[in-house]
Chains A and B, each alone.
Chain A
């Protein structure tokens, strides 16, 4: 097991390196001079040159990358141009809010996804199965930012039951686990959960159908085990894959929350990215994306290791 974790770590290192290169190059993809956002429009050539060397933009790209990476490894993601505060602080605050939202959404998605998936897998081609399949196609086809708007129209604008935007009544940027704040998380979390519900339902349905068709299930029934006992075996066999999909979905939701966070004005990383893009705050953009991508890489690693721990038959390269 330790050897396996080590192997995965060695495999992940070049990927993490590649991710850092992509994030570094993002700033250089941007049209115009990366300094144009910092400098006044009427800056003299002398000022520009001075700033260029102060920021290190006069050095060759690989050297700039090495310096940048050295700072990143020490936790220094640079300074936000818009607020003048360190990027790391801004991102960490937003990540917590995004993580809360994404976790609640994943939990909802996992609950309903496995429920629909099990029912559909057990009763294939029944009405329930068809309904579950239709729901999962809906989940992956619906533009979630539109679904968010529709839910706001129904539950906020028309019925007035739930608040349409924000993370809490005080307008502060932090979510707390109490009743008032809970009302604010319902709409965005439900909107977000539609995608994982569909994907998990589809996967679990296929898994359960596959497992039920295997010989060992026949053998269990033949030796007189009741349905509940068989069910426990099915769960044990489906769990590693289902949990792995859930873990990956959490990562996708965390990275893909920008649209939903924009609709609901949720103070997370999506909201931060949106601000960074439109204020041309490149260090903030770069830092947020680096943190989110690294989180996704780490999550993939954890999922892989957990999957192997749960099911020792999986020993992948």
Chain B
């Protein structure tokens, strides 16, 4: 009676659940779509390495209040701009004599938060707009998508800076501006994927079964479009990280003395002649996270066999 059918494969693939235990003995359970994606992803060394780097930095960010070697806020006028490899300050000290390693670790919190949050919010709002426009079609589609077109008339960096420049500096305003940048991009992808599937037979079958439009959108449409939209959204995280830190770099995001990589890069700009290695460190951190997200997203796209 010990059929090789795991709970996960039943949840992922309804067909297995209906198979009788006797047949299941000889039946190799299907992994289901997500199972296949996971299987392919695990065998992609680049994507796995990128994922490991992301997990490591997220873990450091979460644990940073307890594991930093020194107080990230406490400076020392005597020990400013120590070089990388210093006995006390392993990664040197900044222009106010604060430990760079500790500040980079704590800085990961705000940098990741400000980079990921806008994409998450935009993923929810943009998908909703795109699915609605794509499924309902007609005038709703025209009005929604032409409005979206207006935002495409702004290069993303310009739109982010225009909005946060008008709203004023601050973490909340920076997140709002970046969300506004990504909603149209995600909505456009969501709309095109939804339009692609709305004439499929299973949608008609659901309609004939008497399901309401809302139920169809939630179950049949969402289930089939969420993958491609999600992959697209993950590819935006890299852009979002660079833009969020860029806003702080310009003085439009995080305010001092809070550590954030973009802001640290800005305040250390004056130090490039004294201690160039230390001055370049926060940017290196942004670059590592950004390229990891890009590589992981590429791997995910390949694993899901989505053509760009």
Contacts and interface: CB of A to CB of B under 8 A. Distances in A.
Contact of B147 (A18, A150, A251, A277): A18
B291 A137 contact: yes
Q: Identify the interface centre among B155, B269, B280: most chain A CB within 10 Å of its CB.
A: B155
B162 A143 contact: no
Nearest to A254: B155
A296 B156 contact: no
A141 B272 contact: no
A18 B151 CA distance: 8
Contacts of B245: 143
Interface in B143-186: 146-147, 149-151, 153-158, 161-163, 165-168
B165 A276 contact: yes
B166 A259 contact: no
Given A30-B166, A137-B294, A146-B287, A273 B246 contact: no
B29 interface: no
Interface residues of B, number: 44
A236 to B, nearest CB: 24
Contacts, number: 136
Nearest to A164: B272
B300 interface: no
A142 B153 contact: no
Report the interface size class on chain A: 35 or more
A29 B166 contact: yes
A142 B287 contact: yes
A141 B287 contact: yes
B234 interface: no
A226 to B, nearest CB: 33
A301 B269 CA distance: 39
Interface in A280-311: 282, 285, 289, 292-293, 296-297, 300
Contacts of B155: 251-252, 254-256, 292, 296
A255 B149 CA distance: 17
Interface stretch (A58-66, A81-89, A152-160): A152-160
B167 A158 contact: no
Interface stretch (B211-219, B222-230, B247-255): B247-255
Nearest to B176: A29
Contacts of B166: 26-27, 29-30, 282, 285
Interface string B281-304: 011101100110011001000000
B252 A140 contact: no
Contacts of B168: 30-31
Chain A at the B interface: SS class = helix
Contacts of A289: 154, 158, 162
Contacts of B246: 143, 145, 259
Chain B at the A interface: SS class = helix
A263 B249 CA distance: 10
A296 B153 contact: yes
B265 interface: yes
A149 B158 contact: no
Interface string B233-253: 000001000100110011110
B295 to A, nearest CB: 7
B75 interface: no
B158 A157 contact: no
B265 to A, nearest CB: 6
B66 interface: no
A27 B165 CA distance: 10
Given A19-B154, A26-B166, A262 B250 contact: yes
Contacts of A147: 283
Nearest to A276: B165
B190 interface: no
A19 B153 contact: yes
B154 A149 contact: no
A157 B276 contact: yes
B81 interface: no
A174 interface: no
A69 B290 CA distance: 41
22 contacts: A18-B147, A18-B150, A19-B153, A22-B151, A29-B167, A30-B166, A31-B167, A141-B294, A143-B245, A145-B249, A146-B282, A157-B272, A252-B156, A255-B155, A255-B158, A256-B155, A256-B157, A258-B161, A277-B161, A289-B158, A289-B162, A296-B155
Interface of A: 14-16, 18-19, 21-22, 26-27, 29-31, 137-138, 140-147, 149-150, 152-153, 157-158, 206, 251-252, 254-256, 258-259, 262-263, 273-274, 276-278, 282, 285, 289, 292-293, 296-297, 300
